[in-house]
Structure 1
Amino acid sequence: MKRTDLENNSERTASWTAASLTAASAVAALALASLGSGAFGGVPVQDAAGGYLSSTATPVAPATTAFSIWSVVYLGLLAYAVWQLLPAGRRSPRQRAIRPWAAASMLLNAAWLWASQLGSLPATLVVMLALLAVLVRIAVLQWSVPPGSRAEAIASDGTFGLYLGWICVATVANTASLLGWALGIRPGDPAPSLPGGIPAEVTAVAVLAVAAAVGVGLALRGSWAPLVAIAWGLAWIAAARLTGPLAMPAVGIAAGAAAAVVLAAGVLVRFAPSRRLHTRAPREAHA
């Protein structure tokens, strides 16, 4: 057998192995996530950690309905796991770079759910920050090389874009939960205040402004999927603060405005005349 044939066979074996391990990671992570979420007798996430992860725990906690986005993200991860096993996915140099990070993101998600079951808010935040860093790394890799097809844009960029956007919002909520726990503020306290007498509403509005700025920054990258997830999370923070036991009208209005700003930035960047004239065709498929 010629050396070239040996090299090709070795490369094919390596690509199959990496793709198979990624797919196995997806299945294992989703199974662990199901167990860790309390679906089979454990504590539901909103009731874990003393209620600090519930929709009324802090001023920036989204309403429970917001978490339905996980169904879309999980379906996307399964679709990605299958797509990257196909010939186009196995051959993609872009996917060779992304696969280890993709597998890590899935396993970290399962780890976060298990940390919540253990009731450790510090552990949940550490895992969440690690997950956010991994997803940012995936985004950078995807931005560096445009997708080779619309299928890749949907399966890879779309899935991990939604994942990144939602984790940006979840990190805000998780951080606020840990802060509330550390300061001894009880979940659902109708008038929480920070040290120095600073009203929680003021801090919440500032945090929402930062979240909107992150969304605008992603819009400038031309990525739609993260914007949708960020706007979704912000909209449900608005819904949770405009009504219910932890109603804070100022925070609700600020969250709604932040969601609108993120979506508006995406629309303006997407349809800007200069973008239409100068964006290359492959980038049009960018999720």
Structure 2
Amino acid sequence: MNRNTMLALASVILFCGVLTVNTLANVLPINGLSTKQVSDLYPSLFTPAGLTFSIWSVIYVLLIGFVVLMWSRKQDVFIATLLPWFMASCVLNMSWILAWHYLMPALSVVIMLTLLFSLSQIFMLLQSHRAVDMKEKIFVFLPFTLYFGWICVATIANVSALLVSVRWEGGFLSPEAWTVVMMCVAATLSAFVALRFRATAFVVVVLWALLGIYLRWNTTDYAAINGTAIVLLIGLTIVFVLSLRKQPGTHA
């Protein structure tokens, strides 16, 4: 068995582990708490409406496609280059679930940041490579761009949960003002990535997250959050349209 086949096999096993651990997190659930129940213990204004988290289903379905494509192209040099980082992301994904469910928010932030780093490495590798066909665009570029974008958002939410857990009151800003700041940070990052790398899927993820925040608070008195969400949704929609313009050497 050569190195590429060993990497591919290990990647399949680890990804199956991710699917299993994430399923058990809510079926058992792990530590007697579902993922949402743990989230409810750290009520943060940045956390979007529950339906927003359905994006995980899209990400995992596309990653299943990646694993299938990866196995059929395991001798491909580019695919083999991605696999160590993909394997790391799988280990970190499972580790985060355990840290989160066992109520260790500080450790979960550390793991989330490390997961973000591993996905950023995959994202940058993708930018140095031109997709050879539509399968690679759909099952390599798309899932990892969505995954990277969502973990950027999730990292902000995870840090917010940690601050809530230590009863941080926001200092010189109110929790609502801090939420507005974090929304703007996420939108600015999204705009930069989308325009710099023509990563349209990245901006779609942040649009979805902002929509989720708006839907959660639109019938409440958090006017600043609602208003900011609307402005950012409009602004990022414009960014999305601009990022659709193709340039030589860029990727969808």
Q: TM-score under structure 2 normalisation?
A: 0.92
Opposite residue 279 of structure 1, the aligned amino acid is P
Opposite residue 76 of structure 1, the aligned amino acid is L
Q: Which residue of 2 aligns with 1:47?
A: 37
1:213 counterpart (172, 188, 191): 188
Which structure 2 residues correspond to residues 186-197 of structure 1 after superposition, within 5 A?
A: 193-196=169-172
1:161–1:223 contact (8 Å) kept in structure 2: yes
Aligned equivalents of 2:66, 2:5: Cα separation in 1? 15
Q: Which residue of 2 aligns with 1:3?
A: none
CA shift digits 1:65-103 (9 cap, x unpaired)? 1111111111111111111001xx223222111111112
Aligned equivalents of 1:91, 1:223: Cα separation in 2? 27
1:68 counterpart (16, 38, 54): 54
Q: Structure 1 residues 45, 81: closer, same or farther in 2, change over 3 A?
A: same
Secondary structure at the counterpart of residue 85 of structure 1: helix
Aligned equivalents of 1:257, 1:203: Cα separation in 2? 17
Aligned equivalents of 1:202, 1:49: Cα separation in 2? 21
CA shift digits 1:159-213 (9 cap, x unpaired)? 111111111111111111111222x26xxxxxxx5224x2222221121111111
Give identity over the alignment, percent. 27
Secondary structure at the counterpart of residue 21 of structure 1: helix
Aligned equivalents of 1:212, 1:96: Cα separation in 2? 33
Q: Cα RMSD over matched residues?
A: 1.8
2:204–2:240 contact (8 Å) kept in structure 1: no
Q: Which moved more, 1:143-152 or 1:253-262?
A: 253-262
1:49–1:121 contact (8 Å) kept in structure 2: no
Aligned equivalents of 1:49, 1:268: Cα separation in 2? 35
Q: Which residue of 2 aligns with 1:116?
A: 100
1:58 counterpart (19, 38, 44): 44
User: 1:116 deviation in Å?
Assistant: 1.2
Aligned equivalents of 2:11, 2:177: Cα separation in 1? 43
2:223 counterpart (220, 224, 249): 249
Matched residues, number = 249
Aligned equivalents of 2:93, 2:237: Cα separation in 1? 26
User: 1:260 deviation in Å?
Assistant: 3.0
For structure 2, list consecutive stretches of 5 or more residues without a partner in the other structure: none
CA shift digits 1:229-266 (9 cap, x unpaired)? 1111111011112135xx51211221232233223212
Q: Which residue of 2 aligns with 1:172?
A: 156
Aligned equivalents of 2:227, 2:124: Cα separation in 1? 32
Opposite residue 206 of structure 2, the aligned amino acid is I
2:199–2:243 contact (8 Å) kept in structure 1: no
1:224 counterpart (193, 200, 208): 200
Q: Which residue of 1 aligns with 2:209?
A: 233
Q: Structure 1 residues 223, 49: closer, same or farther in 2, change over 3 A?
A: closer
Q: TM-score under structure 1 normalisation?
A: 0.81
For structure 1, list consecutive stretches of 5 or more residues without a partner in the other structure: 1-9, 186-192
Opposite residue 248 of structure 2, the aligned amino acid is T
User: 1:50 deviation in Å?
Assistant: 6.5
User: Quick check: 1:199 aligned with 2:174?
Assistant: yes
